[in-house]
A and B are shown apart, each in its own frame.
Chain A
Amino acid sequence: MSDDARALEIDGISKRYGDVVAVHDLSLDVSAGELFGFVGRNGAGKTTTMRIALGVLAPDAGVVRWLGVPLTFEARRRIGYMPEERGLYPKMHVAEQLAYLGELHGMTGAEAREAALGWLDRFGLADRRDAELQALSLGNQQRVQLAAALVFAPDVLVLDEPFAGLDPVAVDVMAGVLRERADAGVPVIFSSHELELVERLCDRVGIIDRGRMVASGTVRQLRTGGQERRWIDVPMAPASWDAGVPGVRLVQADGTRRLFELAPGVDDQALLRAGLATGPVREFERVEPTLGEIFRSVIEEAAA
Chain B
Amino acid sequence: MNARSPGLGGTHRLPTTVLVARREALMRLRSRVFIGGTTVMTVLVVVGIVAASLLAGKTAPVRVGFSGGSQALEQTFTATAASLGASVTVSDIADVTAGTAQVTAGTLDVLVTGSATAPTAVAKAAIASNVESALSLAAEAARLSDAGLSPAAVTSAMALVPVQLQQSPKGKDNENLFAGLAVGILLWIALGIYGSQVAQGVVEEKATRIMEILLATIQPSRLLAGKVIGIGLVGLLQLTIVGTAVLVAVHVTNVAEIPALGVASILGDLFWFLLGFLFYATAYAAVASLVSRQEEVQSAIAPISIFQIVGYLLVYAALPDPTGPLATVGSLLPPFAPILMAVRMAASDVPSWQVGLAIALIVPSIVGLTWLAGRMYSNAALHLGTRVRFMKAFRG
Contact = CB atoms under 8 A, between A and B. Distances in A.
Contacts of B13: 103, 106-108
Contacts of B20: 104
Nearest to B214: A104
Interface in A97-138: 99-110, 112-113, 116, 129-130
A104 B19 contact: yes
B83 interface: no
Interface residues of B, number: 32
B264 interface: no
B216 A89 contact: no
B9 A85 contact: no
A109 B10 contact: yes
Interface residues of A, number: 40
B209 interface: yes
B210 interface: yes
B212 interface: yes
Given A77-B216, A108-B11, A87 B210 contact: yes
Given A76-B216, A83-B212, A88-B210, A108 B6 contact: no
Given A81-B216, A105-B217, A100 B10 contact: no
Interface string B8-42: 11111110100110010001000000000000000
Interface stretch (A54-62, A190-198, A200-208, A233-241): A54-62
B217 A87 contact: no
B19 A103 contact: yes
Contacts of A73: 219
A286 interface: no
B355 interface: no
A88 B215 CA distance: 13
Contact of A130 (B2, B8, B9, B23): B2
B294 to A, nearest CB: 12
Contacts of A56: 212, 215-216, 382
Nearest to B206: A87
Interface string A142-168: 000000100000000000000000000
Contacts of A95: 2, 5
Interface string B200-222: 00001000111111111111000
A79 interface: yes
A119 to B, nearest CB: 13
A148 B27 CA distance: 19
Given A81-B212, A129-B2, 8 more contacts: A85-B209, A95-B5, A96-B4, A99-B5, A100-B19, A100-B23, A110-B10, A130-B2
Interface of A: 51, 54-57, 73, 76-77, 79, 81, 83, 85-93, 95-96, 99-110, 112-113, 116, 129-130, 148
Interface of B: 2, 4-14, 16, 19-20, 23, 27, 204, 208-219, 382, 384
